[in-house]
Structure 1
Amino acid sequence: MRTLDEIRKLITARTDNPDQPVAGHHLWDSLVAAGITPTINLNSAGRALCIDLPDGTTIWITEQADICHPPSDHESWCAIHFHDPDDQGPYHLIYQGPGNLGITADTAACIEAIAAWITAHTASGAVARQNTYLALPETIPRDARRAAWMIGYAKPGFNGRHPAAPTNRHTPTHLDRHLDTGTERRGACLACAWEGPVRPHQNPAIEDALDHTHPGWRDLPTLPRSTSGKNSARLQAHRDATYPPHWFETGGPLKVWTSTANERHEAGQAPGGGYLIKVHQSEQTEDTSQQLSLL
């Protein structure tokens, strides 16, 4: 296995003096100094530098498919995150230099974007995901920023451009990311690094999170929506009798019937501030359930 120094020597100048330092050497040395281990794609015409990530994806860095040009001729680095290195797609452009910075400033800006992107891409847990997303530099294009996981808008833990803070107890939320193929979601927790599987829709992601934070919630009864007057008091008494003691004090969800299919679960609408979970049934079944619950 080659050492880093041996791999670095594979970057050669396109001149009669192959030992002459080139832009790729400056980029290589700067990456190593930043704690990022690069490698070289030997199949690329210009010896593209690569950064292999733990999940099998990779970042390529070149200037117009070349890293072997003289530093004085350098214009701008281009860094692309390939999610499937075998066929080079899908991908996200995470840095494109403006072309007027010079080798030193452009390399520094490129590495800043790459380091922030790697941190965001390899983070785990809702708080870490949100805060690394907020820390992405403005040099990262909008499409790439949207492809990083973040807490869903207005969901538990979301606080605009302010950092998220961990909670003292397991608290469900969900993460979003927006790809060319559509939006993906996954359940997450505000107190730990747990994350659920990727889901195409919001409700299953929230339900995954509740499996983590409030196991057993699926076995609890589904109740009619609150009514006014005497029925309201009877419904509350029935709820208190069938849900576990102190359930809502821990942010536990409340399950209610809805006649609308795929109606979104609502954060903060359960008695203790937890999720209101919408369970779809037909009008007839809902009416029957309501009559039974109020007996």
Structure 2
Amino acid sequence: MSDALFDLKDFEPKPVYTGPAPLNFTRDYYHPDDLAAATRWLKVAEGRSLGSAVGRIHTWQFGITTGWVVPEGEAEHSMCILDCCLDCFGIDGHGIDYEHRRSYPLAPGEVMRTPMRCSCVGGRVFQSVCSVCEWHHNASHESEVVEAWHDHAFPGWRDLPVAPTGLDEKKVAAWAKSTYPPEWQVPAAPIRTWRSQYSTRHVPGRSPWGGFDLSAGTREEAA
């Protein structure tokens, strides 16, 4: 009824979040799917977004190339990588010194704006989770949480041989299968390779066994 003074739906009870993971930042262990459910609730039920200053979400997200990199049931240990941005996005002057940033003179009548200062933590944090063991590790760099998970799931990985330089992906896989001990040729096991200067990220899913290609450093360091 368009002429009604109120709509019955206004009196319907609002949905209530009942998930175990909190609707705010936490460093405690929760199953990755529960953390993702908390983020979906904030986005869908409350209409909050990642990029706004008001209602900024500070919960754990699955990354574009991360998330469940070793799903439950595929190996002895599962692996999920999440990230969380602690910036306040959208507030003028966050992390900016306007007096030094502005290198051109003010126009006639223009006034230098006083930047707003916030008290947010800032930066991005990462987490790796083994839900099989209810283990997790938080750090400020993705590489650190990847390495911590391998310390948990594959202790001794730092002593693995490093693939020779100059091999393509197929030859690296063949080399690893002929070189690594049988106990290291299991689901989600890693390999180690030398990299170019700007390609030192640990890459998921690129070992012959579906595990990480772990950077051992640059080719210059290998020389």
**Larger deviation, residues 137-146 vs 255-264:** 137-146
Number of residue pairs aligned between Structure 1 and Structure 2: 171
Structure 1: runs of 5+ lacking an equivalent: 1-100, 159-163, 288-295
Partner of 1:149: 60
Given the superposition, is the C-alpha separation of residues 154 and 165 from structure 1 closer, same or farther in structure 2, using an over 3 Å criterion? Answer: same
**RMSD between superposed Cα atoms in Å:** 3.5
Describe the superposition over 1:120-178 as per-residue Cα deviations: whole angstroms up to 9, x where unpaired: 556613333234433444315214574111332232527xxxxx963353133311111
- Indicate yes or no: 2:16 matched with 1:112: yes
Q: Which amino acid aligns with 2:81?
A: H
Partner of 1:16: none
Partner of 2:123: 182
Q: Is the 8 A contact 1:173 1:209 kept in 2?
A: no
**Larger deviation, residues 263-272 vs 138-147:** 138-147
Given the superposition, is the C-alpha separation of residues 116 and 142 from structure 1 closer, same or farther in structure 2, using an over 3 Å criterion? Answer: farther
Structure 2: runs of 5+ lacking an equivalent: 1-8, 88-121
Describe the superposition over 1:230-256 as per-residue Cα deviations: whole angstroms up to 9, x where unpaired: x948x835x345423142332111110
Shift of 1:277: 0.8
Matches within 5 A, 1:75-90: none
Partner of 2:202: 265
Partner of 1:191: 132
Q: Is the 8 A contact 1:171 1:191 kept in 2?
A: yes
- Indicate yes or no: 2:211 matched with 1:211: no
SS of corresponding position for 1:112:
coil
**Larger deviation, residues 130-139 vs 273-282:** 130-139
SS of corresponding position for 2:16:
helix
Q: What percentage of residue pairs aligned between the two structures are identical? A: 23
Describe the superposition over 1:44-80 as per-residue Cα deviations: whole angstroms up to 9, x where unpaired: xxxxxxxxxxxxxxxxxxxxxxxxxxxxxxxxxxxxx
SS of corresponding position for 1:129:
helix
Q: Determine which structure has the larger helix proportion and give its number.
A: 1
Shift of 1:268: 0.7
Query: Structure 2 CA distance, aligned partners of 1:194 and 1:142?
Result: 29
Pick one of 77, 81, 92 that aligns with 1:170: 77
- Indicate yes or no: 2:177 matched with 1:243: no
Query: Structure 1 CA distance, aligned partners of 2:57 and 2:71?
Result: 21
Query: Structure 1 CA distance, aligned partners of 2:145 and 2:164?
Result: 23
Shift of 1:274: 0.6
Q: Is the 8 A contact 1:224 1:286 kept in 2?
A: no
TM-score by length of 2: 0.61
Describe the superposition over 1:236-295 as per-residue Cα deviations: whole angstroms up to 9, x where unpaired: 35x345423142332111110113157211111111111111121352x424xxxxxxxx
Describe the superposition over 1:181-235 as per-residue Cα deviations: whole angstroms up to 9, x where unpaired: 1211022125342110x2222111111111122222122122235626xx948x8
Given the superposition, is the C-alpha separation of residues 192 and 154 from structure 1 closer, same or farther in structure 2, using an over 3 Å criterion? Answer: farther
Q: Is the 8 A contact 2:71 2:79 kept in 1?
A: no
SS of corresponding position for 2:83:
strand
Given the superposition, is the C-alpha separation of residues 255 and 165 from structure 1 closer, same or farther in structure 2, using an over 3 Å criterion? Answer: closer
SS of corresponding position for 1:249:
coil
Q: Is the 8 A contact 1:167 1:190 kept in 2?
A: no
**Higher-RCO chain (CA-CA 8 Å, sequence separation at least 6):** 2
SS of corresponding position for 2:194:
strand
SS of corresponding position for 1:252:
coil
Q: Is the 8 A contact 2:206 2:213 kept in 1?
A: yes
Query: Structure 2 CA distance, aligned partners of 1:134 and 1:191?
Result: 23
Q: Is the 8 A contact 1:254 1:276 kept in 2?
A: yes
Given the superposition, is the C-alpha separation of residues 246 and 118 from structure 1 closer, same or farther in structure 2, using an over 3 Å criterion? Answer: closer
Query: Structure 2 CA distance, aligned partners of 1:273 and 1:212?
Result: 17
Q: Radius of gyration: which is bigger? A: 1
Q: Which amino acid aligns with 1:185?
A: F
